[in-house]
Chain A
Amino acid sequence: MIKIANLSFSYNKETRVLSGINLEFDRRSTAIIGQNGAGKTTLVKLMKGLLKADEGKILIHEHDVSGKTAAQLARTIGLVFQNPNDQIFKRTVLDEVMFGPLNIKMDKQTAKEKAIEALKMVELDDKLEMNPHDLSLSEKKLLCIASVVAMDTDIIIFDEPTIAQDHGGKEKIRQIIQALKDKNKLVMTIIHDMDFVAENFERTIVFNDGQVLLDGETRDVFSQKELLKTACVEAPGITKLAERLGFKDTVLTVDEFINMKKTYSPPQ
């Protein structure tokens, strides 16, 4: 669905933020991880057309991104910004969520339905008339998610959706991601919460210093202890525990661990 070839980008002449990125995305749900400043946000802004590449190409559904404006791309690809304050600018919660759908030429009735449906998913449908700036940080983040989900794009990217969320909030986000996957959309997430990665994403890409360090099935990626260390990321706690205990296979979730434990005999 997305093809990235030899992509390079820098904000200013001195430092290159991304260099020589080659990636292809299919419909597998994908997590993008890597240390702060690795260039993850920059990459998704490039895909979204908010930034223009210095070199290389991005094709979405076979169409070159450079030939389209960000607004045209918004019909196919949605992005939830890392910082909700950068995304919110309308005066009521409902207006904020309806803004996207109305722009991609949905009629008012459908836009409103989609908006309310999305707000129900994040349980903000009782705050339709509130000013978004009066919401808490976690609610703002959920509002941003709703306003992108309401646009019903084929590709949807979350930039750190779980920041500031308690367990309940994370659970809502998990359900949204699952619902999107069920609708056969490409879900991509930049995230620092490794447990969330292990439990929800089929594919994981590790960025380091503007380059792709690792890319593959989440399970395979989390088995590469040494490489992960160079990118300053760590496998989930349960994965490390299993590894220390000498389990042969890489474990991703607590359930897996328990299942393995039943058939496992500790080395004497």
Chain B
Amino acid sequence: MKSISLYEEKASFVHDVDPITKLWYIPFAILIPIILPSFTISFLFIGLSLVLLLGAKVIRKTIPVFGFVFLILITVVLIQGMFKPENETVLFQIGPLTMYKEGLLFALTITLRVINIICAFMILVLTTKPSDLVEALVRKGMSPRIGYVIVSVFQIIPEMMATMSTITDAQRARGMETEGKLLVRIKAFIPLLGPVVLGSLINTKERAMALEVRGFNSQAPKTYLYEEKTYQFSKVLQIGMLLLTMAAVSWRIFL
């Protein structure tokens, strides 16, 4: 079955880092450029994230994501560059279009922020198995029920897709046209919805029973299937990030 998680199994020092530290990295990398709003800092963090993504050998997987994001950012640059109310200084003209400095600088800030946020999230998402992250959170005290719900979300969509193709096969096998023109496809799709939803409800009921008979609701403390992923420098990194954030705050306040 296909997985919807973007996680890529590789051996790298980024993969070795425990999920919680990578989770910490996200607010760290997002907050500091906000606390210290300079282009240098933003570039620094984007650079750092990109180096980590490169080191994790997952940079290729980021390309489609960035492709999509750039498409949106280009419209931001164009609109801000031309129409931002504060626009005064003309930078250049292409035909009838005039680009202003103020708008472009503002667009650049937004662009850097967005890229920075996406990079930080991507490090976590691409190098951490969702179940590892959830298990680490449960170890930290999150309720196993919530953990289970999160993990289920990662399973239910591919499961629904599999159910859909199963039912499509059942329909085609008995003479219902599902291939070809768009109209035919749509016509075939609508009667799918009922069985797919019904099917997942039945699955849910059966899964609840399966969980129940295997003691999911037991009050005893749970043990874990996987060994806890530990990383020797996780404390150092976490404390380091915290200190740097505090340093950034005091820099901002006192200097």
A81 to B171, CA, bound (A): 12
Asked if A71 and B178 sit within 8 Å, CB to CB, the answer is: yes
In chain A, positions 133-160 with a C-beta closer than 8 Å to chain B are 133, 147-148, 151
Asked if A71 and B202 sit within 8 Å, CB to CB, the answer is: no
Asked whether any CB of chain A lies closer than 8 Å to the CB of B204, the reply is no
Write the nearest CB–CB distance from B76 to chain A, whole angstroms: 41
A78 to B172, CA, bound (A): 11
Nearest CB in chain A to that of B171: its residue: A89
Asked if B174 and A50 sit within 8 Å, CB to CB, the answer is: no
Asked if A89 and B176 sit within 8 Å, CB to CB, the answer is: no
Which residues in A have their C-beta under 8 angstroms from that of B175? 71, 74-75, 100, 103-104, 151
In chain B, positions 98-154 with a C-beta closer than 8 Å to chain A are none
Which residues in A have their C-beta under 8 angstroms from that of B170? 81, 86-89
A88 to B202, CA, bound (A): 13
Asked whether any CB of chain B lies closer than 8 Å to the CB of A213, the reply is no
Asked if A71 and B179 sit within 8 Å, CB to CB, the answer is: yes
In chain A, positions 20-59 with a C-beta closer than 8 Å to chain B are 48-50
Asked if A74 and B174 sit within 8 Å, CB to CB, the answer is: yes
A78 to B166, CA, bound (A): 16
Q: A89-B195, A133-B202 are in contact. Are A69 and B172 (CB under 8 A)?
A: yes
Proximity bits, B168-186, A CB within 8 Å = 1, else 0? 0111111111111000000
Which residues in A have their C-beta under 8 angstroms from that of B178? 69-71
Nearest CB in chain A to that of B172: its residue: A70
Q: A69-B179, A69-B180, A133-B202 are in contact. Are A87 and B173 (CB under 8 A)?
A: yes
Q: A71-B179, A89-B167, A89-B195 are in contact. Are A148 and B172 (CB under 8 A)?
A: no
Asked if A69 and B169 sit within 8 Å, CB to CB, the answer is: no
Which residues in B have their C-beta under 8 angstroms from that of A89? 167, 170-171, 195
Which residues in A have their C-beta under 8 angstroms from that of B176? 71, 99, 103
Write the nearest CB–CB distance from B135 to chain A, whole angstroms: 29
Asked if B202 and A74 sit within 8 Å, CB to CB, the answer is: no
A133 to B169, CA, bound (A): 18
A96 to B249, CA, bound (A): 67
Asked whether any CB of chain B lies closer than 8 Å to the CB of A65, the reply is no
Nearest CB in chain A to that of B176: its residue: A103
Which residues in A have their C-beta under 8 angstroms from that of B179? 69-71
Residue in B175, B177, B194, B195 with the greatest tally of chain A CB atoms within 10 Å: B175
Residue in A71, A72, A151 with the greatest tally of chain B CB atoms within 10 Å: A71
In chain A, positions 82-124 with a C-beta closer than 8 Å to chain B are 86-91, 99-100, 103-104
Asked whether any CB of chain B lies closer than 8 Å to the CB of A233, the reply is no
Which residues in B have their C-beta under 8 angstroms from that of A50? 169, 172-173
Asked if A81 and B173 sit within 8 Å, CB to CB, the answer is: yes
Write the nearest CB–CB distance from A32 to chain B, whole angstroms: 18
Asked whether any CB of chain B lies closer than 8 Å to the CB of A206, the reply is no
Nearest CB in chain B to that of A99: its residue: B174
Write the nearest CB–CB distance from B3 to chain A, whole angstroms: 15
Write the nearest CB–CB distance from A264 to chain B, whole angstroms: 48
Write the nearest CB–CB distance from B18 to chain A, whole angstroms: 32
Asked if A151 and B177 sit within 8 Å, CB to CB, the answer is: no
Q: A69-B179, A71-B179, A86-B166 are in contact. Are A103 and B174 (CB under 8 A)?
A: yes
Write the nearest CB–CB distance from A51 to chain B, whole angstroms: 9
List residues of B whose CB falls within 8 A of some A CB. 166-167, 169-180, 194-195, 202
**Given known contacts A49-B172, A81-B173, what 12 new A-B pairs fall within 8 Å (CB)?**
A50-B169, A69-B172, A70-B169, A70-B178, A71-B177, A71-B179, A74-B172, A74-B174, A78-B173, A86-B166, A87-B173, A103-B175
